[in-house]
Amino acid sequence: MTITDRWDAVMMRNYGTPPLALDHGAGVRVWDTDGRGYLDFVGGIAVSSLGHAHPAIVAAVCEQVGRLAHTSNLYMHEPGLRLAERLVGLLDLPARVFFANSGAEANECALKLARLHGRATGRSEIVSCHHSFHGRTIGALSVTGNAAKREPFAPLPGPVTFVDYGDVAALDAAVGPQTAAVIVEPTLGEGGIVPPPAGFLAEVRRLCDAAGALMIVDEVQSGIGRTGHWFASQAEGVRPDVITLAKGLGGGLPIGACLGIGAAGELFAPGDHGSTFGGNPVSCAAALAVLDTITDEHLLDNVKRVGEHLADALGAIGSPLVAEIRGAGLWRAVALTGNDAAAVEAAARERGLLVNAVKPDTVRLAPPLILTEAEVDEAVPLLAAALDEVSS
Ligand code: PLP
């Protein structure tokens, strides 16, 4: 039996049948179970911030798992406390932290904060954006602006109102005394790496202030260096009430975080929320290694510099299939003129480059933050050749 046959026999069908089985990785490269190597510009969907098998993560995880792998939330531990202190320090704002295991769970925490914020004044509505993505749990799905993903699971919690991403007038009309919170991504991630018009986040802040609603910024994909800043919202000079994180924070170990800033950090009373595994010592040790390495190796500067090089190289491909290059830092979309993204993904894979068809007409690149210009120069010709093959 092949590995594909074994997969198809026992796994639920929600992911279809993936095209590859990966075996190991090092830096920005991974190898499949047949020994073929690939440049990894998917990065575990914007997760593997330090690449694969980074010595700092390996050492931190091995040390911690050998010391104490799990405590539950009944006891304190130093890695979790240090990680919370580091995150609050990076925000440079008065804040409190809840640790979860994933992006969806970080958003569940944010939605529960919104419920508590709205309870005193009888508000429960959440305003979100069309084409947004906030996760697959029933709560996070209820505010995800993708009807095809949402509707099979109706009825979902509500009320939720969706507006067009970046449309300040629509947001102004939607946000009012009934609004408990607005949840927004700094740039649509799963929606195709679509940045909003300049100043959009500041407008969201203004409208939330005027209505007394919480501003929740979902930085699950954009946060922890992806755009060359610790938080994409910080780069915009915006102070949200709640920031959610996951993906790149753990560098491949599962962890999510919900940061409550100012009064939003004071909403939970003992017993209001919890997670058995959330913020377990091993994931926290990995996340601390990620934050230390980003700092010590000046990776935010690397993301900005190599990200510009990547954007320039993508812009120079000159394929008739390419409509636009979008994004910031090491988070780029190659928007196509038609629905060829899956074909481009497959053709790139055949050439030893992993990219992701995030939408039928959009190829996403979210490589590790340790990427070098030389690796960009190796990868982009492979993508160009894949585009040539698909266009011919
Ligand atoms: N929020 C955003 C912006 C995301 O991009 C994602 C995942 O892609 C999530 C939330 C959900 O994260 P997870 O898959 O870890 O639950």
pTM over 0.95: yes
Name the fold adopted by 3-51+299-391: Aspartate Aminotransferase, domain 1 (3.90.1150)
98, 99, 133, 200: the catalytic one is 133
pLDDT tens-digit profile, the chain (392 residues): 999 999 999 999 999 999 999 999 999 999 999 999 999 999 999 999 999 999 999 999 999 999 999 999 999 999 999 999 999 999 999 999 999 999 999 999 999 999 999 998 899 999 999 999 999 999 999 999 999 999 999 999 999 999 999 999 999 999 999 999 999 999 999 999 999 999 999 999 999 999 999 999 999 999 999 999 999 999 999 999 999 999 999 999 999 999 999 999 999 999 999 999 999 999 999 999 999 999 999 999 999 999 999 999 999 999 999 999 999 999 999 999 999 999 999 999 999 999 999 999 999 999 999 999 999 999 999 999 999 999 99
Indicate which residue's Cα is closest to atom 10 of ligand 1: 134
- Which residue among 190, 222, 245, 359 has the greatest number of ligand 1 atoms within 8 angstroms of its CB, and so is best to mutate? 190
- What token pair was written down for 185? 């991504």
Indicate which residue's Cα is closest to atom 1 of ligand 1: 134
d(CA 359, CA 191): 7
Please tell me the predicted confidence (pLDDT) of residue 121. Answer: 84
d(CA 73, CA 282): 14
Please tell me the predicted confidence (pLDDT) of residue 120. Answer: 82
Q: Which atom, in ligand 1's list, is nearest to the CA of 104? A: 16
92 an active-site residue? no
Is there a shared CATH topology between the 3-51+299-391 domain and the 57-296 domain?
no
- What token pair was written down for 192? 């195709």
247 an active-site residue? yes
Report the pocket of ligand 1 as residue ranges, CB < 6 Å. 102-104, 107, 133-135, 185, 189-190, 218, 220-221, 246
Query: What CATH code would you report for 57-296?
Result: 3.40.640.10
d(CA 224, CA 219): 8
Domain limits of the chain? 3-51+299-391, 57-296
Please tell me the predicted confidence (pLDDT) of residue 41. Answer: 98
Question: In the sheet that 353-354 helps form, which strands lie side by side, from edge to edge?
Answer: 22-26, 29-32, 37-40, 353-354
Please tell me the predicted confidence (pLDDT) of residue 130. Answer: 98
Please tell me the predicted confidence (pLDDT) of residue 363. Answer: 98
- Which residue among 47, 132, 133 has the greatest number of ligand 1 atoms within 8 angstroms of its CB, and so is best to mutate? 133
- Residue by residue, DSSP assigns 82-146 as HHHHHHHHHHTS-EEEEEESSHHHHHHHHHHHHHHHHHTTT--EEEEETT----SSHHHHHT-S-
Residue 139: φ, ψ to 5° = -70, -50
- The region that residue 303 occupies, defined by phi over 0 for left and psi between -120 and 50 for alpha, beta otherwise, is alpha
